Amino acid sequence: MHGTVSALVNKSMATSSKEIANTEAQMRKGVLELCILLVLSKGGEMYASDILIALKTHLLLVVEGTLYPLLNRMKSGEFLDYRWEESQSGPPRKYYRVTTKGKQAASTLLTHWNSLAKTITSLT
């Protein structure tokens, strides 16, 4: 019986760990748009791989398969714009920049983020 209880506890802990990891991933995805706007606001025009490096520098691990659809959605929403630049080492590159609408969105999202962080802190 002791082995059965131990197995159930281990299974429960594994499930909890998966659920926590899933929640953490969803939280990162939820703030990724804001993080991209902030990175581009500070860095000016940036190539997608430079955005990935900047996010990684701040411990936000994002893969290209997540970044490119988000950049396209943000472009469609007029939060970002881009320009093409010829590359000497391959195909032309897109350099992204924040639009005026994107700067306004970043400011609004940052205000909401700070309010949410304050609320969460007050709960601890």
Residue 4 resides in a domain: no
Which CATH number does the domain housing residue 73 bear?
A: 1.10.10.10
Average pLDDT (25-30) is 81
Q: What is the pLDDT of residues 52-106, one digit of tens each?
A: 999 999 888 888 888 999 999 999 999 999 999 998 888 899 999 999 999 999 9
> Where is 103: in which H helix or E strand?
helix 100-123
Q: How many domains does the chain have?
A: 1
Domain residue limits at 95: 32-123
| 116 pLDDT more than 60 | yes
The answer to pTM > 0.85 is no
**pLDDT > 90 fraction of the chain, expressed in percent and rounded:** 61
C-alpha separations of 53 from 5, 11, 13, 49 in Å: 45, 36, 33, 6
